[in-house]
Amino acid sequence: MLRCLGDITMLRCLGDIIMLRCLGDIIMLRCLGDIIMLRCLGDIVMLRCLGDITMLRCLGDITMLRCLGDIIMLRCLGDITMLRCIGDIIMLRCLGLKPWCSHSESLNSKKFICK
């Protein structure tokens, strides 16, 4: 269980499943590969943050954000890439609302899909 109030928490994983519980946090994803599953109602690794910046660095292929059953799939192509929805960040609303993005387009040939 990791709890943070105002500090930066960095998680590095090699194929681990990370479950995230958050309240409107700013989440920055940098990845080189593996599958990361972020679930707002998770219980394996729980991050309870209030306005914190959580940086996840990992090795893999597909990053899956699951927030209350809604899925955003972000594909990475081998190098460390910032996945951006609103300029510089990905905002997750985990209080019963869907994660959202301002647009759906290819960024540096890294496509993301907001459903």
Query: Is the pTM here over 0.85, yes or no?
Result: no
- Give a yes or no: residue 109 inside a domain: no
- Give a yes or no: residue 114 inside a domain: no
- Give a yes or no: residue 63 inside a domain: yes
- Give a yes or no: residue 103 inside a domain: no
- Give a yes or no: residue 112 inside a domain: no
Instruction: Look up residue 76 and give its two tokens.
Output: 């990475």
Residue 59, SS3 per DSSP:
coil
- Pairing mode, if any, of strands 9-13 and 53-58? parallel
pLDDT score at 8:
41
- Average pLDDT of the residues of the chain: 38
Its domain, for residue 80, covers: 2-97
pLDDT score at 10:
44
* Total number of domains constituting the chain: 1
Instruction: Look up residue 7 and give its two tokens.
Output: 């500090």
- Give a yes or no: residue 106 inside a domain: no
pLDDT score at 53:
43
- Give a yes or no: residue 102 inside a domain: no
pLDDT score at 115:
38
Per-residue pLDDT tens over the stretch 28-76: 444 433 344 444 333 333 343 333 344 444 433 334 444 333 333 333 3
